[in-house]
Structure 1
Amino acid sequence: MSTQLDADRDEEEVFYDISVTVDSKLFPTKDPVAENLKQTKIIFVIGGPGSGKGTQSRRVAEEYGFTHLSAQDILLNTMVVGSDRRKETQETVEHGELVPVKIKDAMMSSMDAKGILIDDYPWELKQAEEFEKKVARPSLVLFLSSSRATMKQRLLKSARKSDHATGDEELVTKQIEDHLSATQLIVEKYQRDNLIRKINAEEMPDKVFRQICEAIDSIQESSESDMASDGFLCRN
């Protein structure tokens, strides 16, 4: 019995599908996606520009002993400046197809971690769906919520400090509106799945951190004994 694969895609995605097909034929009882990844605590951190996702993610990862992955860093490492395939890569990303595979590759080296914290991901609903299909379902989604005014103020302040081109108010406003439009569908999905915890990112950083700790600790209810043995406790 033959299997037809679409070869008109990124070569790494084609390779992934081939490996999945081979695995399913040779090991029919084996899940094509690594079982270890499915057992790992995966936490998404989403929020608008200027919400403090990166800062909080680094702090939380250190506190809990999680592996911290930045979706933006993974993407930047993929889209090498000057690469002949840069345009092809960008188009693939825009269709939501590449990043889940790249993140999965990064996660494979962190399967022994207490948990994996993925910062600034997913960016849109399709990526969330692709991640669940190709990798695993997240254990928790942290939504760092802040107002338009706060995001704008923080972005402009940061731009002025760095003399960055994104200090243009119109560009900042568009960046915020684009984020809000894309994020709404993601938030609604994870609300239906009862996986999302809203964090008030308007607060001072220490208070935001405490909210995040409480949200992470709350998922102990489903596997309290296992997580307690791994030290999933929010320390002062």
Structure 2
Amino acid sequence: MQANLIKDRKVPVIFIVGGPGCGKGTQCERIVAKYGFTHLSSGDLLRLEVKSGSKRGAQLQKTMEAGELVPQDVVLTLIKEAVTKALAAGSKGFLIDGYPRDVKQGIQFEAEIGKAKTVIYFQASEETLVKRLMKRAQTRRQFGNHPKKHYSKEGKLININGEGSVEDIYKLVCAHIDSKVLV
């Protein structure tokens, strides 16, 4: 895939990041419903590949069962394949959930797939995150500080307070997308 494929289609890419339990998934569902974007989660893509029974999926399963990180090039390939498929189906934009986890991943994504229009970082107190995680009994890794600084310097980062109601947070997200992404 060429880096300008997304640019040529004029569809926005939004990185959605934040700690586990901050509300990324909930907000992504609502954004998809309103804007017609495609929601891609790197974790979901990995799980789907494992479930597919492919040779690559079998190798991924071994890697994950060993507690090792999946190589960056494999994750990026899965994202590229999903982006290509979604573009062919007429996607109006992309929400890339839980990715990038570091600056190198973000730079490689933008070089190989397309530039992110913005990065939405959901913030919530540790107390709120723990309460939410206890409710759903799942864990995910947090978005590190370095990518946050990187995208802030590029003027792409928007911090959203994840402490409010789902509706209040959604209004903030939509206001940002309407004023910064869809212009």
Normalising to structure 1: TM-score of the pair? Answer: 0.65
Q: Which residue matches 2:135?
A: 157
Cα contact 1:66–1:115 (8 A) shared by 2: yes
Given candidates 117, 134, 145, the residue that maps to 2:95 is 117
Given candidates 74, 97, 102, the residue that maps to 2:45 is 74
Residues 1-57 of structure 1, C-alpha deviations (whole Å, 9 max, x = no match): xxxxxxxxxxxxxxxxxxxxxxxxxxxxxxx60633123211111111001111110
Q: Which residue matches 1:146?
A: 124
Equivalent pairs, count:
174
Q: Which residue matches 1:36?
A: 5
Cα contact 1:93–1:99 (8 A) shared by 2: no
Given candidates 154, 158, 168, the residue that maps to 1:193 is 154
1:215 aligns with 2:173: no
Report how far residue 157 of structure 1 moved. 2.6
Normalising to structure 2: TM-score of the pair? Answer: 0.82
In structure 1, the residue corresponding to 2:122 is in which secondary structure? strand
In structure 2, the residue corresponding to 1:211 is in which secondary structure? helix
Specify the code of the residue in structure 2 equivalent to 1:140: T
Specify the code of the residue in structure 2 equivalent to 1:139: K
Cα contact 1:97–1:127 (8 A) shared by 2: no
Q: State the superposition RMSD in angstroms.
A: 2.5
Aligned-pair identity in percent equals: 32
Unaligned runs of 5+ in 2: none
Residues 97-152 of structure 1, C-alpha deviations (whole Å, 9 max, x = no match): 22122111111122232211122222233321221122111011110111111111
Q: Which residue matches 2:84?
A: 108
1:98 aligns with 2:74: yes
Report how far residue 81 of structure 1 moved. 9.0
Residues 73-98 of structure 1, C-alpha deviations (whole Å, 9 max, x = no match): 10112234986423675599544222
Report how far residue 154 of structure 1 moved. 1.3
Give the whole-Å Cα distance in 2 for the aligned partners of 1:187 and 1:156.
26
Given candidates 103, 112, 122, the residue that maps to 1:134 is 112
Change (3 A) 1:213 1:71: same
> Which of structures 1 and 2 has the bigger CA Rg?
1
Unaligned runs of 5+ in 1: 1-31, 160-165, 167-171, 225-236
Change (3 A) 1:192 1:78: same
Cα contact 1:71–1:120 (8 A) shared by 2: yes
Give the whole-Å Cα distance in 2 for the aligned partners of 1:137 and 1:192.
15
Moved more, 143-152 or 89-98: 89-98
Q: Which has the higher contact order (CA 8 A, sep 6+)?
A: 2
